[in-house]
Structure 1
Amino acid sequence: MFYLLIYIVFITHHKSVSCEEVCYKDSCSDPDVESRYLFYDVNPPEGFNLRRDVYIRMAVLMHKLKKSRDPALNSFKLVLPTWSHLVHWSYSEVPEFLPWSTFFDMPSLQKFAPVMELHEYFTSLKRNKYTKLLLDRVYILQHFEDMFETGNFEEKWKVEKCQKAPKSRYFYYSNITSNNVKCISFHGPATKLSEVFKKTNARTILLEHTEVALHDHFGSKIYWEARRSMRFNFNLREIANQFRETYLNSNDVNDNTFLAPDWLNDKVFIKQIVFDLRE
């Protein structure tokens, strides 16, 4: 309830981001012609925490792709889906299509992985008005049907018949679609998806139901690097600090809960605090 109140207070001061004017790939040009773009989404009923957890899986994938020597893989940028139609949120008070910067510090995220907002992708295009974005490829992830019956949990993927009828529009926008949709039965960590990307030269790829892909190593060093990069933005932290001070008699000085300005310096900052306390 506490976090929900913070979200509502903050986002009611922000307008939703509109992406109505987008384009077909053959009616617009992208100045960053070397890049490939990975869009993703999750099962619609999933809440805030699961979506945040799936982001970590995708961010680790992008972090590792960026270090690849294969130019077909290290040119990917992750396009973040807007926060929309979450079943736990009352949209009489909360606007639709919220960008990630509503909650998180985007420069902090970008220090770990090459990520961008959905609206940033659209504004990077030279486009005509009132046209559509036709994604090159859509891959719908699904579990192997017999996996839990057989107990065979080996890492693998295979293009198979869709277990559910694919939808034709994405991210709740009527003008984002694709003519090339395939279902992939998948079991393994998110980084195994790089094998899928090697099989296509598509520049715009959407992964549906990315919650199917697992963490590489939950709780590992790279997991916590991705998690630490997910800092809430300054405005939310200010609201939280005011709430702590007013109602809980709590602040960073009394509670010794300072964070380094940059998550990359967390270890150095924590060591300095410990040293100062000992002095």
Structure 2
Amino acid sequence: MENKILSAYENRPRTLWSRLALGAVLVALMAWSATAAVDYTGASGGGQIAASIISGILHPDLSLLFNFTTEGVPYLMLETICIAFLGTVVGAVLAIPLSFLTASNLVPKPIAFAGRMAIMAIRTVPSLVYGLMFVRVTGMGAFPGLMTMALSSIGMVSKMYIEAIEDLDVKILESLDAAGCTTFQKIRYGILPQLIPNFASTAIYRFDINLRDATVLGLVGAGGYGAPLIFAMNAYRWNEAGAILAGLIVLVLVVEYGSTKIRVKLARG
């Protein structure tokens, strides 16, 4: 037995040279990719700009931060929350019938496949592109942001809904059927209790994502934080940009804390 072990050890594959060759190739690729990096710091004063940005964030404009008019940070926070929340609600509601029509355990496979292709096509387009499209159609404002959030939500939310529907415990439905329950009772006591926690948790998670995306949509004129933030940065008003970013950080932290508590409560019943 000992001789077999020693023989197997002596005949083991020699991978040292192959590992060295692979390491050399990786180092060469990293060195080659580094040649594409160009240092623009000295030419454009990037260090001074970075210092100005940090200084503006650490010393925000308090008059803008506590301005309760339509130009102030609180109003921008409220508008961003409304865009994200209403967009999530509309997208989550529209995703429900689409998910039931696409679940492979409820409809024929060709129909389910076609539905999945449609959902995949919706998810392929970035939300910023949807924002540009809706701004061209409806004009600038909060409404194109809401529509963008709704359409962007349908793709991800539908996918999660389909997984929840396909994971339904059919034994519960069989038990209710054996007990003589009607179709409405089976839906009420067998299907909805399984789906509602998953659906609600998915919608809350998507709301977190939409809250961040709604900020970016302002860059194309779809409401929210984005437009005032980019205007302040382009004008080198770093104190105003710092106030907007400070409000955004507080908003995201508060929503993240609340949504986490709700998801945990839903998961634990």
TM range (shorter): under 0.3
TM-score by length of 2: 0.21
TM-score, normalised by the number of residues in structure 1: 0.20
Point out the structure with the larger helix share.
2
> More strand per residue: 1 or 2?
1
